[in-house]
A and B are shown apart, each in its own frame.
Chain A
């Protein structure tokens, strides 16, 4: 009987194998058919692109167009976070971190047919480093005074020498779209998978397939698969969502958690939660000496104990659960765990403990009187948190923080201001007590945040433009940031930035609250989409996306 069963099992096994093989064959056939499909991909830009010049990009919409049209020497793979060759087949960094040499691919042309060579790379670098350009992309390369030297060794070889070491130099070229030095079409001649075909101000940007794009897929088929990409300029997110539901759009990047849940209940196959993103939400106190706030409040805000106590009294799990419907993770520090290499794994999110917070405050002379916290001079602990009006998530976070701090006798006033007013208070008048805001991080490398952490910089938000560091821990951060920036040894850089993260978590100049998840929606008609946490989440592999008829 057993033998019979085994025989029948043996008979069944090949049968299943045959079916499985047939399914696989059918799947690959369908896959090929999908790959053959092309069509038009449609999604929204949330603002008008300010420029089509890739070197001048400073807004998200222009950045999207640069990503889709620009050819770069090297590209950070948004999935693996590794650097991959693109127009450059190989590259070599000098030991002192000041020079990089590229070996370029030969026989490539721009979208208008102009030949690509090392001269174009030299031209692009010279344009980018023009001091009058004031572009964020160019500024990222500026680590010291002096000129950048480009040396063309052959049509396919170039070396670029910077006046001072530039940390993470090779990865910075991910943002540098190469321009043609000879094309009459200037920045409209591109090396990327798509090119700008039409632009209707305030309405749409139409990108068409670049006929001269150099890449092919594994089967030898020319990339990109798509014929075109239609980018509708749509600032209203409700309208974007409605249009996605109607099938007029194929993708939504950076989806709100509320929309995500609504869509997930009706069409779970459309939504993607890629996990914690690089973006963080944080709270900080005004530590500017000349700010027009009372002296006793300045004393609170300068106290690390006070800041730590506030941090301890905020329930981050609640913020994630209530405000973001679980689509956010309590933040451990300046960098999100999503940043695989640079995140300091030793750091853990602050544990919620109102009792611990109260003890810390008592050690600083604060005392509780009739449910109200008072400082050693008898001043009631009252402060206001400002955030940008219209951002419902931040408004809700501020209210939850208000409730949390009320538990330790601190009265918080929540004030919402429109963005220009908030920026003015934050950067010019310094007329605020605490700010709740987010940091959109597109860089994996800490060097991209140099202007946040250096005490002398404009973006050192809790106390900017310090002539000399006002505290010993800020001096230490300055030292470590400069050390990591001037070293080409990745291990040493990591050690230095790990130390920066530890100091920031210990001193809490920024009280990091949560890291939002990377949420997106992709229509089922889009093939090849694999949303990731890095920007651009859904179309990072645009050249391999295809759209079938709905």
Chain B
């Protein structure tokens, strides 16, 4: 039990440290990006010199990145995540409005990807037909080669849901690992012996295969969340889905520092939590096994 507490504590510490560092790194990168200090509004011929100067003045506090970051941390501790420069709205509202869609998109996409991966991987392990192996390898290899943006464009063209694009981006990565793992486990002597004794496939699966593969699949599940989060940016941007991914794209184009720092921290948090959760659950499952 103590061991588990230490593990959770270690993970929590790592999450906080990575978040702080990730936020600072993201802020520094945006600050150093070309065009950081430019504002498209300055080109409006109606604006007089005073208004253009006021626009420039509004960004002045962001010039010193450490000052900006400390001020950001201080405000965020009080629940104020700042205001988007490009959209002129509080970052908290922007994220709050868009998070549900991205959550739905990712959940559905990941669910579909895992369903497809496990179904095909189990079929491959059960059937052990070389033609089936070749077929699934070609299918997953093809999807692995197609860039995320192309899959997103195809889903727009054929009027398919964005979650399907996410699923097809994640699927080849999870399928290959799950398939290899299941084939290997199904070739173990005790499983072969169980089959020879006439044990049902369901019993073999749940009693002898699932406990063995769960910790490793959980680790892949953690990684698949990061893949899906990364894929959400092109998918949402190209499919015109108003989620956090689209917001991240807009923020990057506009060098919107407050928005980008918050999105980076959010994405880092989701990725770290997914990986940590996978690690902790895997640890618990392994302990139970022992």
Q: Please determine whether A422 and B156 come into contact, CB atoms closer than 8 angstroms.
A: no
- Assess whether A80 is interfacial by the CB under 8 Å rule: no
Q: Please determine whether B94 and A201 come into contact, CB atoms closer than 8 angstroms.
A: yes
- Assess whether B167 is interfacial by the CB under 8 Å rule: no
Nearest CB in chain B: distance from A127 CB, A? 16
Given contacts A202-B247, A418-B253, A448-B46, contact A236 B240 (CB under 8 A): yes
- Separation of A465 and B35 alpha carbons in the complex (Å): 20
- Assess whether B2 is interfacial by the CB under 8 Å rule: no
- Assess whether B34 is interfacial by the CB under 8 Å rule: yes
| A interface residue count range (under 10 / 10 to 19 / 20 to 34 / 35 or more) | 35 or more
- Separation of A236 and B237 alpha carbons in the complex (Å): 8
- Separation of A421 and B33 alpha carbons in the complex (Å): 9
- Assess whether B54 is interfacial by the CB under 8 Å rule: yes
Residues of A within 8 A of B (CB): 48, 50-51, 58, 131, 134-137, 139-140, 142, 200-203, 233-236, 238-239, 242, 246, 417-424, 427-428, 439, 448-452, 456-459, 465
State which of B40, B45, B159 has its C-beta within 8 Å of the C-beta of A419.
B40
Chain B residue at smallest Cβ distance from A199: B97
Nearest CB in chain A: distance from B121 CB, A? 34
Nearest CB in chain B: distance from A440 CB, A? 9
State which of A238, A423, A451 has its C-beta within 8 Å of the C-beta of B40.
A423
State which of B39, B46, B98, B239 has its C-beta within 8 Å of the C-beta of A451.
B46
- Separation of A419 and B34 alpha carbons in the complex (Å): 10
Interface centre among A131, A139, A200, A457 (most CB of B within 10 A): A139
Q: Which residues of B contact A236 (CB under 8 A)?
A: 156, 237-240
- Assess whether B255 is interfacial by the CB under 8 Å rule: yes
- Assess whether B289 is interfacial by the CB under 8 Å rule: no
Residues of B within 8 A of A (CB): 33-52, 54-55, 87-89, 93-94, 97-98, 153, 156-157, 159, 237-240, 242-243, 246-247, 250, 253-255
State which of A202, A246, A420 has its C-beta within 8 Å of the C-beta of B159.
A246
Chain A residue at smallest Cβ distance from B236: A202
Q: Which residues of B contact A137 (CB under 8 A)?
A: 46
State which of A131, A239, A428, A449 has its C-beta within 8 Å of the C-beta of B45.
A449
Nearest CB in chain B: distance from A249 CB, A? 12
Q: Which residues of A contact B37 (CB under 8 A)?
A: 424, 428
Q: Please determine whether B48 and A451 come into contact, CB atoms closer than 8 angstroms.
A: yes
Q: Which residues of A contact B243 (CB under 8 A)?
A: 202
State which of A51, A58, A239 has its C-beta within 8 Å of the C-beta of B240.
A239
Nearest CB in chain A: distance from B100 CB, A? 11
Nearest CB in chain A: distance from B213 CB, A? 40
Q: Please determine whether A450 and B45 come into contact, CB atoms closer than 8 angstroms.
A: yes
Given contacts A420-B255, A423-B39, A451-B46, contact A202 B246 (CB under 8 A): yes
Q: Which residues of A contact B87 (CB under 8 A)?
A: 48, 50
Q: Which residues of A contact B157 (CB under 8 A)?
A: 242
Nearest CB in chain A: distance from B165 CB, A? 13
Q: Which residues of B contact A142 (CB under 8 A)?
A: 48
Given contacts A51-B88, A201-B242, A202-B247, contact A424 B34 (CB under 8 A): yes
- Separation of A422 and B33 alpha carbons in the complex (Å): 12
Nearest CB in chain A: distance from B259 CB, A? 12
